[in-house]
Amino acid sequence: MSELLKITDLNVEFVARRGTIKAAQDINLTVAPGEVLGLVGESGAGKSTIGNAIVDLLEHPGRVAGGSILFQGEELRGKTEAEMRSIRGDRIGMIFQDPQTALNPLMMIGDQLIETIIKTRGYDQKRAYECAIELLEGVGIDNAKVRLKAYPHQFSGGMRQRVVIALALAGKPELVIADEPTTALDVSIQAQILDLIKQLCEERQLGVIIVTHDIGVIASIATRVAVMYRGKIVETGKVAQILGDPQHEYTKALISAVPRADKKYHRFEAVDYIEGGATRKPIDIATHWLGKSRHQSDDQTPAVLVKNLDLSFTLQNALLKKNRKMLRAVNDVNFDIKQGETFGIVGESGSGKSTIARLIAGLYTPDRGEISIQGQSVLGNQRDANIKMARRKLQMIFQDPYSSLNSRLNVMNIVAEPIRFYKLTSSEAETRQIVGDLLDHVGLGASVANRFPHEFSGGQRQRISIARALATRPQILICDEPTSALDVSIQAQILNLLKDLQEDLGLTMLFISHDLPVIRQTCDRIAVMRSGQICELAETEELFNNPQHEYSQHLLGLMPKLDLLG
């Protein structure tokens, strides 16, 4: 097989104030025509850098420090900007992550396509126009003639990504570099876009490099895969071989951390390769302050009860009621969560799952319906002492570890805030002692109390959030996509931690996620949501083995096939 692209000993570095960062080190890669090479790694592994280095679009202050990039036998390094420009688009196409921002908002997509076709193929206006129609049809956009006159904001996210792909293919490139092409899209759209890329690759004998953090994407599209870790390729090979029988320790850790949808484990294994040092020092719950709130009452009252819940958002306000555009985010939802169980809500973006979490947490007020926590209704006057007491039993962990901590406060003040506010301790010294214990308990260690959030990684920040949530001694914990912003290996650690905490403290959990495998690994019962309504509510094993509702079956069918994993 002749090679389309051959990279040898490529080094990329970023010269920063605190020293040079080696973003990619001694990279060796090949791509053949008709082959999809997956470049997989966690954030900061340097995988995007390689794509940008190939087409010489590294962002300042990045630069290629050494090595060679042979494209169709031609050395790309040392080419002038003008020479590179004739290669970009013409012979190497790029697809970016976010279709929302990749298109010029003020230009009709037809004009953007025609402009690119004229530049890359040298066609005249009329031929370029016909070619643009052909391209749009080729990426599965119906009614292409009319759609050429549309502006980007008139397309949905998935359709926009198709336009981006059409633009990338406008110059008939031999190589396409796709940087996280499906990360910003919903699962069902994701599958369509991956199919499209695969189909185009086979039809046109393209070489494709797909950069992703998602093993599922690799499993469903790539022929070969290169695993990256901290700027280096640790392992390369056929997909089946790497996923089924990984050799390198990191690959093993990475793959074991991927949540499986086909079977349930108790805990994730072998995930400490990546962020070690998170040694947990559990405290003796029976005697500790933290354990004193453990629920003693009868287990018959549901921890959370939700009845006929409704909430609409106004999309567009208008003077007349009939002109108002409303979105029914939550539509007549009913369920209850038993003491000590983990209840999962799964659905695609916009299904209303996070809205329910926020309703229960009191961040939104429902239009109609009832919410009670351990038998106490929590709607109505929020100053009522009973409602306040009930609300304190419930805490929440959020999705984005980078925005869920106030960057102006240190860890001590973040975690101590609820304790001080509710005067849960008798002295400041005791507060400090307890904060230290909490930090030990979540595996950070009491010594971090004086540091500020920016000094921590995403996973560590999520641990701080968990410590803060525990500080009111809650009995119910709402986890709203707590790991979707984290790398898989960190995700596994956090999920393990939540599991341990639940066992130690007997917590009830409401777990919200879009990720079916994660839901399967964590929950006892699951509600599947679409358009604000629950389609199906079942025991986990029952749902995964025998889904009843059409939509659940559809969702389960979209899950990446990970049969390749051992």
Stretch of 215-223, 265-273, 412-420, 506-514 lying at the interface with other proteins (CB under 8 A): 412-420
Q: How far is the CB of 85 from other proteins (least distance, A)?
A: 5
Residue 404 phi, psi (nearest 5) = -90, 0
**Distance, first Cα to last Cα, the chain:** 29
Annotate each residue in 264-303 with x if it binds other proteins (CB under 8 A) or - if it does not, as one string: ----------------------------------------
Pick from 82, 53, 274: nearest CA to 179:
53
- Characterize the bridge pairing of strands 224-229 and 207-212: unpaired
Stretch of 233-241, 269-277, 284-292, 450-458 lying at the interface with other proteins (CB under 8 A): 450-458
SS3 (DSSP) at 86: helix
| Residue 167 within binding range of other proteins, rule CB under 8 A | yes
Residue 164 Cα to chain centre, angstroms: 21
| Residue 406 within binding range of other proteins, rule CB under 8 A | yes
| Residue 120 within binding range of other proteins, rule CB under 8 A | yes
Considering only residues 523 through 542, tell me which ones interact with other proteins, judged by CB under 8 A: none
> Distance between CA 121 and CA 124 in Å, rounded?
9
Q: What's the half-sphere exposure (Cβ side, CA atoms, 13 Å) at 372?
A: 10
Choice from 130, 249, 269, 428 touching other proteins (CB under 8 A): 428
Q: How far is the CB of 374 from other proteins (least distance, A)?
A: 16
Q: How far is the CB of 86 from other proteins (least distance, A)?
A: 6
| Cα distances (angstroms) measured from residue 518 to each of 13, 22, 496, 512, 526 | 35, 33, 11, 10, 12
Instruction: CB nearer to other proteins: give 105 or 277.
Output: 105
| Residue 451 within binding range of other proteins, rule CB under 8 A | yes
Contacting residues for 269 by C-beta, under 8 A, at least 6 apart: 256
Residue with tokens 């990475």: 254
Annotate each residue in 307-326 with x if it binds other proteins (CB under 8 A) or - if it does not, as one string: -----------x--------
Considering only residues 72 through 111, tell me which ones interact with other proteins, judged by CB under 8 A: 85-90, 93-94, 96, 98, 101-107
> Distance between CA 67 and CA 286 in Å, rounded?
60
Instruction: CB nearer to other proteins: give 36 or 94.
Output: 94
| Residue 407 within binding range of other proteins, rule CB under 8 A | yes
> How many residues in the shown chain lie near other proteins by CB under 8 A?
69
Stretch of 189-197, 199-207, 215-223, 387-395 lying at the interface with other proteins (CB under 8 A): 387-395
Instruction: CB nearer to other proteins: give 407 or 545.
Output: 407
Provide the token pair at 478.
Answer: 């709402």
| Residue 138 within binding range of other proteins, rule CB under 8 A | no
Instruction: CB nearer to other proteins: give 374 or 472.
Output: 472
Instruction: CB nearer to other proteins: give 126 or 383.
Output: 383
SS3 (DSSP) at 150: coil
Choice from 247, 308, 403, 546 touching other proteins (CB under 8 A): 403
Stretch of 70-78, 245-253, 445-453, 545-553 lying at the interface with other proteins (CB under 8 A): 445-453
Q: Which ranges in 205-269 belong to alpha helices (H)?
A: 215-221, 239-244, 249-257
Instruction: CB nearer to other proteins: give 391 or 520.
Output: 391
> Distance between CA 199 and CA 560 in Å, rounded?
17
| Residue 410 within binding range of other proteins, rule CB under 8 A | yes
Instruction: CB nearer to other proteins: give 393 or 520.
Output: 393
SS3 (DSSP) at 286: coil
CA atoms 336, 338, 340, 342: torsion sign: negative
SS3 (DSSP) at 382: coil
Contacting residues for 561 by C-beta, under 8 A, at least 6 apart: 219, 220
CA atoms 366, 367, 372, 376: torsion sign: positive
Q: Strand locations in 57-153, DSSP E?
A: 62-71, 74-75, 92-95
Cβ burial of 323 (10 Å; 0-12, 13-18, 19+) is exposed
Q: How far is the CB of 131 from other proteins (least distance, A)?
A: 14
> Distance between CA 101 and CA 83 in Å, rounded?
27
Annotate each residue in 329-368 with x if it binds other proteins (CB under 8 A) or - if it does not, as one string: -----------------------------x--xxx-----
Stretch of 163-171, 438-446, 540-548, 550-558 lying at the interface with other proteins (CB under 8 A): 163-171
Choice from 422, 546, 550, 557 touching other proteins (CB under 8 A): 422
| Residue 421 within binding range of other proteins, rule CB under 8 A | yes
Contacting residues for 467 by C-beta, under 8 A, at least 6 apart: 415, 435, 438, 439, 441, 442, 444
Q: How far is the CB of 148 from other proteins (least distance, A)?
A: 13
Q: How far is the CB of 194 from other proteins (least distance, A)?
A: 20
Residue with tokens 């599209």: 221
> Distance between CA 9 and CA 79 in Å, rounded?
18
- Characterize the bridge pairing of strands 325-337 and 304-316: antiparallel
Instruction: CB nearer to other proteins: give 376 or 413.
Output: 413
Q: How far is the CB of 94 from other proteins (least distance, A)?
A: 4
Instruction: CB nearer to other proteins: give 94 or 233.
Output: 94
Instruction: CB nearer to other proteins: give 102 or 206.
Output: 102
Cis peptide before 61 (omega within 30 of 0): yes
| Residue 150 within binding range of other proteins, rule CB under 8 A | yes
- Characterize the bridge pairing of strands 207-212 and 19-31: unpaired
Q: How far is the CB of 513 from other proteins (least distance, A)?
A: 16
| Residue 54 within binding range of other proteins, rule CB under 8 A | no
Length, in residues, of the chain:
566
109's enclosing H/E stretch is helix 109-121
Contact residues for other proteins, defined by CB under 8 A: 17, 55, 57, 85-90, 93-94, 96, 98, 101-107, 115-116, 119-120, 150-151, 153-154, 164, 167-168, 170-171, 318, 358, 361-363, 388, 391-392, 394-396, 398-400, 403-408, 410, 412-413, 417-418, 420-422, 428, 450-452, 465, 468-469, 472
